[in-house]
Chain A
Amino acid sequence: AQSVTQPDIHITVSEGASLELRCNYSYGATPYLFWYVQSPGQGLQLLLKYFSGDTLVQGIKGFEAEFKRSQSSFNLRKPSVHWSDAAEYFCAVDQEYGNKLVFGAGTILRVKS
């Protein structure tokens, strides 16, 4: 069965520092991969997605992610974190052509000033 692993439950970074959130997936075919962000008490907002083509994808709010097939990874990065980036981040992989998203457990990002 497909699975998504986010190894870090919590990450704390200083405002202005760079950020990398890790995501590893288990999936036989070429995956569709997503990163979502959830602010406290809110729904999920799509940050970016990878379907095919260029392995470095750009998203909203200055985020980017790189798909590495050899490592089964899709890590999320941001060069300079802002206090408003504090939230929970979810990596997800698509099964069945979009019908069944499988989510990782999430990484809670804290930003210290």
Chain B
Amino acid sequence: NAGVTQTPKFQVLKTGQSMTLQCAQDMNHEYMSWYRQDPGMGLRLIHYSVGAGITDQGEVPNGYNVSRSTTEDFPLRLLSAAPSQTSVYFCASRPGQGRNEQYFGPGTRLTVT
């Protein structure tokens, strides 16, 4: 199993551009989520999904869209990038069915200029 994979590893955007961060998992996990990590703030939840076709907002959802059409994939879309979205983005998944531990991908470092 590759676990949780994310692409790209690094990305530079200009203000106003849009892009999609990709996340995939091959563990057949029900639950997937996106976090952003900023210095001194830990990780904060952006959006999450409890299964295909079901998504919900986390703590910091503004400026981001998600959809979950398959169990394996959970892309994060930045609609109009802003410098405040410069961050490291982590995707995570967990098995569900009473197992609460989440498994994290390697991250995408995004810089918005």
Which of A's residues lie within 8 Å of B, judged by CB? 4, 9, 32, 34, 36, 42-46, 49, 51, 90, 92, 94, 97-106
Complex contacts, A105 vs chain B, CB 8 Å: 40-42
Closest approach, in angstroms, between the C-beta of B89 and any C-beta of chain A?
11
Measured CA separation A26–B41 after assembly (Å)? 17
Q: Which of B42, B45, B48, B105 contacts A43 (CB 8 A)?
A: B105
Contact A94 B100 (CB under 8 A): yes
Measured CA separation A9–B44 after assembly (Å)? 17
Complex contacts, A36 vs chain B, CB 8 Å: 104
Q: List the 10 shortest-distance A-B pairs measured between CB atoms, nearest first.
A: A103-B42, A98-B100, A44-B104, A43-B104, A103-B43, A43-B106, A105-B42, A32-B100, A49-B101, A94-B100
Measured CA separation A49–B102 after assembly (Å)? 10
Chain A interface helix/strand/loop/mixed? strand
Complex contacts, A49 vs chain B, CB 8 Å: 100-101
Complex contacts, B44 vs chain A, CB 8 Å: 103
Q: Does B103 lie at the interface of the complex (its beta carbon under 8 Å from any beta carbon of A)?
A: yes
Measured CA separation A23–B86 after assembly (Å)? 28
Contact A43 B107 (CB under 8 A): yes
Measured CA separation A98–B45 after assembly (Å)? 12
Contact A98 B107 (CB under 8 A): no
Measured CA separation A32–B101 after assembly (Å)? 9
Complex contacts, B101 vs chain A, CB 8 Å: 34, 46, 49
Contact B43 A90 (CB under 8 A): yes
Contact B90 A43 (CB under 8 A): yes
Give the residue name and chain of the A residue nearest to B102 (CB). Answer: A101
Complex contacts, A97 vs chain B, CB 8 Å: 100
Contact B48 A99 (CB under 8 A): yes
